[in-house]
């Protein structure tokens, strides 16, 4: 499902490679945690998957799509296969919970009837039923992140990329967010999570890939993390 073959990314000739001949295989429905210190190359890896960045060399295939053959016009289709959430939520501040999620469907031309059918189901999954009319400012950080997750999965992507989704949250809210990611994974979505939170890594007991200085230095199943 996700295949990287000797992928290198160099941003400029003066700096070293942000990613250096990375090879990686992620099966459909896997839950993968990526760890590594700041500057290790985690975000670069995620940006290559979402096609925000192109590799300098190497092959990337996601869901049968060979990125070297991808045209600009195919990128919206690719983005539908990959949902993303970030540390800073990126919600639309002037829209309520329902509207934030519905907006992701409006922009792809879904009818109001279908939207009204789909959004409540997703809000239920992320545990925000009853909070449809709240504005982002009226929510806790954990709730905001769950709105962002609802928005990211409402079009049923095959892959959900969560880049430090708990970075701004206290431990209780962080764990609520992680539980939602686990639920979404159980429903069949591949989840790729980056985190600095050792406790989350140890509790999750999932595959952990460690990146340091642009290289994969370990890749372990059911791993615990000792810094
Ligand atoms: P991480 O997400 O693990 O903190 P990054 O992927 O952001 O690591 O960064 C990896 C390396 O690439 C770092 O040395 C960083 O300075 C460099 N880098 C990241 N983005 C850019 C960019 N847009 N232009 C130049 N260098 C970059």
CATH number at residue 166: 3.40.50.300
Percentage of the chain exceeding pLDDT 70: 99
Q: Name residue 9's beta-bridge partners.
A: 19
Q: Judge if 139 and 163 occupy the same domain.
A: no
pTM of the model: 0.95
pLDDT at site 79:
87
Q: Judge if 65 and 133 occupy the same domain.
A: no
Range of the domain at 201: 1-81+157-227
Q: Judge if 115 and 131 occupy the same domain.
A: yes
pLDDT at site 14:
85
Nearest CA to ligand 1 atom 21: 11
Q: Judge if 72 and 161 occupy the same domain.
A: yes
Cβ of 222 less than 6 Å from ligand 1: no
Residue finishing a domain among 156, 177, 200: 156
| Shortest-distance atom of ligand 1 to CA 38 | 4
Q: Judge if 23 and 60 occupy the same domain.
A: yes
Q: Judge if 219 and 148 occupy the same domain.
A: no
Backbone angles phi, psi at 205, to 5 degrees: 50, 55
Query: Helices 141-153 and 97-106: crossing angle, nearest 10°?
Result: 20
Cα(8)–Cα(134) distance, integer angstroms: 44
Per the prediction, the chain carries an average pLDDT of 95
Q: Judge if 122 and 184 occupy the same domain.
A: no
Give the three-class secondary structure for 24.
Answer: strand
Number of domains in the chain: 2
């Amino acid at each position: 499902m996700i295949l990287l073959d000797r992928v290198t990314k160099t941003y400029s000739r003066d700096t070293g490679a942000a990613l250096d001949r990375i090879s990686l295989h992620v099966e459909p429905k896997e839950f993968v945690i990526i760890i590594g210190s700041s500057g290790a190359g985690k975000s670069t890896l995620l940006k290559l998957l979402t096609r925000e960045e192109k590799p300098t060399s190497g092959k990337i295939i996601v869901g049968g799509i060979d990125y070297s053959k991808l045209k600009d016009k195919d990128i919206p289709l690719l983005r539908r296969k990959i949902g993303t959430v970030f540390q800073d939520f990126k919600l639309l501040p002037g829209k309520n919970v329902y509207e934030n999620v519905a907006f992701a469907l409006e922009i792809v031309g879904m009818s109001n009837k279908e939207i009204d059918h789909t959004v409540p189901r997703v809000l239920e999954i992320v545990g925000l039923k009853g909070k449809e009319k709240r504005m982002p400012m009226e929510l806790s950080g954990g709730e905001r992140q769950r709105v962002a997750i609802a928005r990211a999965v409402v079009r049923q992507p095959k892959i959900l990329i969560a880049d430090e989704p708990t970075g701004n949250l206290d431990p209780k809210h962080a764990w609520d967010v992680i539980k939602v990611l686990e639920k979404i994974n159980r429903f069949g979505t591949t989840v790729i999570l980056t985190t600095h939170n050792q406790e989350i890594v140890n509790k999750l007991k999932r595959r952990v890939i460690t990146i340091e200085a642009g290289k994969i230095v370990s890749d372990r199943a059911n791993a615990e993390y000792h810094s």
